Amino acid sequence: MSIQRSTVRKVLGLKEKWCHKSILGYSDTETVKLDFDNASFKTVRYWARRAMRWFKLGGFLILKSSANHYHVVFNRCVSWSENMHVLAWASLLSHNKRAQRYALMQCIKESSTLRVSPKKQKPSPRIVYRYGKQGGRILDFLHYRKMIKNIIRKVNVCEPCMS
Amino acid sequence: MTKRIAVYGVFETLAPVVQRYWKRRIDGVLQRYWKKTTRLKKVTMSGRYEFHGRGRDLYKAVVRAHRVMPRGYVDVSAEKFLEHPEKYGQEGSWIEREVVS
């Protein structure tokens, strides 16, 4: 069977990357999450370790979202009030203005969110450091992260960008 | 435990143009009112969906959310959103703009 040349009007190529303009993130109230912007890796690791020891959070995971921008996820399951306690403590003592702004925004929303999908030129956050126990909330976070990435992959295949 | 995904960002949508009018009340005070006209204008807004539910529903809801823009801050189960997406959002398109998570 041959296809007439005139019937093919446009090729919806899978080579072209779909522009993912909305942002997908992981959101909950029981996991302590920190967002350090404009901070070096050593500073982030120092504050993550200090918070983990002070609040007995078990362990943590550091993700690099872009240059000098890091996310921290802690292992122990906490209540929303304790979550805000840790977030406010770490952001105030570290004197990081962006972290303080992040803490305020999570208070307004009443749930904390970390980005999982790519944003503009920034790729998805990558895991760069693990410390302590990883079997609690970190495991759940990684599970949801995988699920969100699967959704992004499926959507990219189904709806390729033509712009 | 239910799974939870946030879809957020800045988008463009069509919103009705509002018109101001004045009306004298019974007590004599001139009161200002606003009414929505049938004219539409393009506006840039930011919004957010918080979906929770099963993995399959979440996937479908995320795909649907690419065409249906949220009305402010929408916290809804993916299943309910898929039943009546027009109840939680309106037509529009996401645009690339800096947002804080």
Does some domain include residue A133? Answer: yes
Domain, as residue range, for A136: 25-158
Task: Note the pLDDT of residue A4.
Answer: 52
3-state secondary structure chain A: CCCCHHHCCCCCCCCCCCCCCCEEEEEECCEEEEEEECCCHHHHHHHHHHHHHHHCCCEEEEEEEECCEEEEEEEEECCHHHHHHHHHHHHHHCCCHHHHHHHHHHHHHCCEEEECCCECCECCCEEEEEEECCCCHHHHHHHHHHHHHHHHHHHHHHCCCCC
Which residue is closest to A153 within chain B, CA to CA? B59
pLDDT-flagged residues of chain A (< 70): 1-20, 157-163
Does some domain include residue A97? Answer: yes
Task: Give the one of B3, B94, B98 whose C-beta lies nearest to A147's C-beta.
Answer: B3
Assign residue A95 the CATH number of its domain.
Answer: 3.40.1310
Does some domain include residue A13? Answer: no
Does some domain include residue A42? Answer: yes
Residue pLDDT tens, chain B, 101 long: 556 889 999 999 999 999 999 999 999 999 999 999 999 999 999 999 999 988 888 889 988 898 899 998 999 999 999 999 999 998 998 887 666 65
Does some domain include residue A35? Answer: yes
Number of domains comprising chain A: 1
Q: How far is B10 from chain A (nearest CA, A)?
A: 7
Contact call for B63 and A155, based on CB within 8 A = yes
Query: Under 8 Å CB-to-CB from A38, ≥6 apart: which residues?
Result: A68, A69, A96, A98
Task: Note the pLDDT of residue B3.
Answer: 64
Does some domain include residue A7? Answer: no
Task: Note the pLDDT of residue B2.
Answer: 58
Query: Chain A residues with CB inside 8 Å of B45's CB?
Result: none
| Single-letter amino acid, residue A5 | R
Does some domain include residue A19? Answer: no
Does some domain include residue A84? Answer: yes
Q: What's the predicted TM-score (pTM) here? A: 0.79
Task: Note the pLDDT of residue A155.
Answer: 77
